[in-house]
Amino acid sequence: EAPAAVNFLRKIVADDLASGKHSQIVTRFPPEPNGFLHIGHAKSICLNFGLAEEFGGQCHLRFDDTNPSKEEQAYIDSIEEDIKWLGFRWHGAVRYASNYFEVLYQWALHLIESGNAYVCDLSADEARAFRGSLTEPGKNSPYRERSVAENLDLFKRMKAGEFVEGSRTLRAKIDMASGNINLRDPVLYRIRFAHHHQTGDAWCIYPSYDFTHGQSDAIEGITHSICTLEFEDHRPLYEWFLQHLPVPCKPRQYEFARLNLSHCVTSKRKLARLVAEGYVDGWDDPRMPTLAGLRRRGYPPAAIRRFCERIGVNRAGGLVDFAMLELCVREELDSNAPRAMCVLKPLKVIISNYPADEMQTLQLPRHPKQDMGTRSIPFSRELYIDQDDFSENPPAGYKRLVLGGEVRLRGAYVIKADKVIKDESGQITALECRIDADTLGANPAGRKVKGVIHWVCAEHSILCAVRLYDRQFQVAQPEAEGDFLEGLTAEDMAAPLYTNCRAEPALLQAKTGEAYQFEREGYFCRDREDLKGKPLFNRTVTLRDTWGE
Ligand code: ATP
Ligand code: MG
Ligand code: MG
């Protein structure tokens, strides 16, 4: 096991507990239900739930649901399922920022009454122009000096639905000349006549992310509010609200570098495009770096947790190579996935010295190291090996089957190829071979046989389909320049599909998502759907890192 990677928040939490600043920590994971969770979210989940677990604290699940037009119940359901699948349980009930809409409204009134907020009638475009830029201070809104009474009246009427969308906002009165643009009178409320998945039609004004987040943390008694670095510039605003409102406690915000993973996109907006534009078959398509996609592809949750631990938590960004995630998946599957044989491109082998009416059943271990019992593998005169495991014109160093050469059939006999059988077009249709009957579980006498290939019995094997998934994008940084989908068609993203594969009989019992190592081929799991009546297996990952070879 690799040593635990650096996690600077671990030290902060440990110090806060040691100093007595907190007697127990409370963290939260705050997704917006506007898409499925992706591998980047896993980093935040492992961090927030992981710290709570490690230090005997609590972690809340709170949906950050202030933007009803983009949110859906289906996303809420998927997010809950994914967190549970990763192996975490939130403390208490699922929470929603919308649970706090009434308190937030009261606090907005409080800010108005204390002269710290005003109703502004600038349009969105005008407000943007007044905001200035990094190099230019903003200008005060002409509505900034409205009286408390007028602001109270207008804000209450905004809530009552008297004004059209976009006509007015409630803004904090902070500093239009601030070097931090987030402090230039940020918007607290917008008018939006949208049905909300939790609150229905109760509200036609919705609080902004900034006005919601810190106060929700305070209401829930969050001690360490952990977010990604984009929110560093929002921290002064986060603290401004806590200072100017009668909140029950003052949480602290900490930022860490988000996960950027090579060869895939991890932005809900971009993943949503892949779904909407038909590049993939939904959010849980095995090509998606969503947790649901990775699950369907066979990634074990323990591998994702291991990966998140290994990449560590710091404030310096950088790109993590997808190979690191694959390595964690392989480590996990190598220890825990039972072995099986599946021939992707079958080539018939006829064992000329084995009787046609005989069949024997070999018992092979399900795992080479762990005690997982055995599996029954039928052996008879007609077998299948993979087309790639025989060559008439072998390249130098070829260790598989050649005419006149020998290989071992995994777990069975050594065979020798005598003859190639071809059809009229010259295509190889079968091989005639002989077994050395003394080589079952024994070395052949007087010679070394290096190659070992996998095989199945022709009659007693099952037909199945196999899809060879790989990385989502060929290029390391698909988002680096321009449109990440430019020049790409849905076909470019299709995974190779083999539909006439032959697998050992035990695989008929494979359950959805259950991991197997197909010997010499990689790790696979059964898809939840069959393909034209055949079990379909998804390649989770190759056996070795052969990327770029
Ligand atoms: P996206 O950019 O994909 O839309 P988001 O940050 O808008 O993601 P949220 O639902 O707001 O998505 O995220 C919930 C939590 O997950 C936030 O605290 C956010 O900081 C964290 N998170 C999102 N993406 C990553 C990432 N790539 N690495 C680490 N944490 C992330
Ligand atoms: Mg967000
Ligand atoms: Mg977002």
Question: Residues 355-366: pLDDT tens digits?
Answer: 999 999 999 999
Per annotation, catalytic residue among 258, 348, 366, 410: 258
pLDDT tens by residue, 88-98? 999 999 999 99
Q: Do domains 8-260 and 339-460 have the same CATH topology?
A: no
DSSP assignments along 432-472, one per residue: EEEEEGGGTTSPPTTS----EE-EEESTT-EEEEEE----S
Distance CA 109, CA 211 (A): 13
Biggest CA pair distance of the chain: 102
Element (H, E) at 323: helix 322-336
Atom 4 in ligand 1: which residue has the minimum CA distance? 268
List beta partners, residue 497.
467
Atom of ligand 1 nearest to the CA of 261: 27
pLDDT tens for 459-479 read 999 999 999 999 999 999 999
Token couple for 387: 């087309």
Residue nearest to atom 2 of ligand 1 (CA): 267
Q: If DSSP codes are grouped into helix, strand and coil, which group holds residue 122?
A: coil
Measure the CA dihedral 40/44/45/48, to 10°.
170
Amino acid of residue 542: T
Q: What is the pLDDT of residue 2?
A: 55
Question: Using 50, 70 and 90 to split pLDDT, how confident is the model at 5?
Answer: confident
- Measured from the Cα of 44, ligand 1's closest atom is 30
Q: Which of 209, 228, 233, 308 has most ligand 1 atoms within 8 Å of CB, for mutation?
A: 228
Domain 339-460 indexed as CATH 2.40.240.10: yes
pLDDT at 225 over 60: yes
Of the pLDDT bands very low, low, confident and very high (cuts 50, 70, 90), residue 158 is very high
pLDDT-based confidence at 542, cuts 50/70/90? Answer: very high
Q: Is 268 marked active-site? A: yes
Residue nearest to atom 16 of ligand 1 (CA): 41
Domain boundaries 264-299+318-336+465-541, CATH class: mainly beta
Protein residue closest via CA to atom 3 of ligand 1:
267
Count of CA atoms in the C-beta half-sphere (13 A) of 34: 16
**Centroid of ligand 1 to alpha carbon of 246 (angstroms):** 29
Active-site position among 10, 32, 70, 479: 32
Residues 114 and 103: their CA atoms lie apart, in Å, by 16
Residue 420, CB-side half-sphere exposure with 13 Å CA sphere = 16
pLDDT at 208: 98
Cα gap 23→421, rounded to integer Å: 77
d(CA 521, CA 441): 23
Residue 514 structure tokens: 């259950």
What ipTM was reported for this prediction? 0.96
What is the model's pLDDT at position 548?
A: 72
Q: Which of 232, 275, 213, 331 is nearest to 38 (CA)?
A: 275
pLDDT category at 4 given cuts 50, 70, 90 is: low
For 324-333, letters b (16+ CB in 10 Å) and e give ebbbbbbbbb
Report the separation in Å between the CA atom of 22 and the middle of ligand 2, taken as the mean of its atom positions. 27
Quote the CA–CA distance of 232 and 256 in Å, as a whole number.
9
Is 332 designated active site?
A: no
Q: How far apart are CA 101 and CA 188, in angstroms?
A: 12
Q: Report the atom number in ligand 1 closest to the C-alpha of 266.
A: 3
Separation CA 405–CA 285 (nearest Å):
43
Strands 252-256 and 224-228: parallel
**pLDDT at residue 247 is higher than 80:** yes
Residues sharing a CB contact under 8 Å with residue 409, sequence separation 6 or more, in sequence order: 383, 385, 415, 452, 453, 454, 455
Residues 499, 503, 509, 511: is their CA dihedral positive or negative? Answer: negative
Mutual angle of helices 39-54 and 301-311, in 10-degree steps: 80
What is the rounded average pLDDT for all residues in the chain?
A: 96
Give the Å distances, CA to CA, from 409 to 349, 366, 466: 11, 16, 22
Q: How far is the CA of 377 from the centre of ligand 1 (A)?
A: 47
Given a cut of 70, is residue 411 above it in pLDDT? yes
* Catalytic residue flag (residue 258): yes
Closest by CA to 336, choosing from 310, 366, 363, 307, is: 366
> Residue 179 above 70 pLDDT?
yes
**Nearest atom, ligand 1, residue 32 CA:** 10
14 neighbors 208 (Cβ within 8 angstroms): no
Contact 354, 403 (CB under 8 A): no
User: CA 446, 452, 458, 462 torsion: positive or negative?
Assistant: positive
Q: How far is the CA of 494 from the centre of ligand 1 (A)?
A: 27
Q: Write down the domain spans for the chain.
A: 8-260, 264-299+318-336+465-541, 339-460
pLDDT at 549 over 80: no
% of the chain at pLDDT higher than 70: 99
The whole-angstrom distance between residue 495's C-alpha and the CA centroid of its chain comes to: 18
pLDDT in tens, 498-536: 999 999 999 999 999 999 999 999 999 999 999 999 999
- Per-residue pLDDT band for 3 (boundaries 50, 70, 90) equals low
Residue 481 vs residues 161, 306, 375, 477: alpha-carbon distances, Å: 43, 31, 51, 8
Confidence of residue 319 (pLDDT cuts 50, 70, 90): very high
DSSP secondary structure letter of residue 263: T
Span from the CA of 76 to the centroid of ligand 1 (angstroms): 15
| Residue 273 pLDDT level (bands cut at 50, 70, 90) | very high
State the architecture of 8-260 in CATH terms.
3-Layer(aba) Sandwich (3.40)
Cβ atoms 275, 282 nearer than 8 A: yes
Pocket of ligand 1 (CB under 6 A): 30-32, 40-41, 43-44, 64, 227-228, 258-259, 266-269
Residue % of the chain over a pLDDT of 90: 96
Closest ligand (CA of 41): 1
64: exposed, middle or buried (Cβ count in 10 Å: 0-12, 13-18, 19+): buried
Kind of pairing between the strands at 390-391 and 401-402? parallel
Catalytic residue among 95, 159, 268, 526: 268
The 8-class DSSP code of residue 39 comes to: H
Ligand nearest to the CA of 272: 1
Strand partners, 378: 361
Give Cα separations from 298 to 36, 84, 326, 527 (angstroms).
Answer: 17, 16, 11, 9
The residue count of the chain comes to: 549
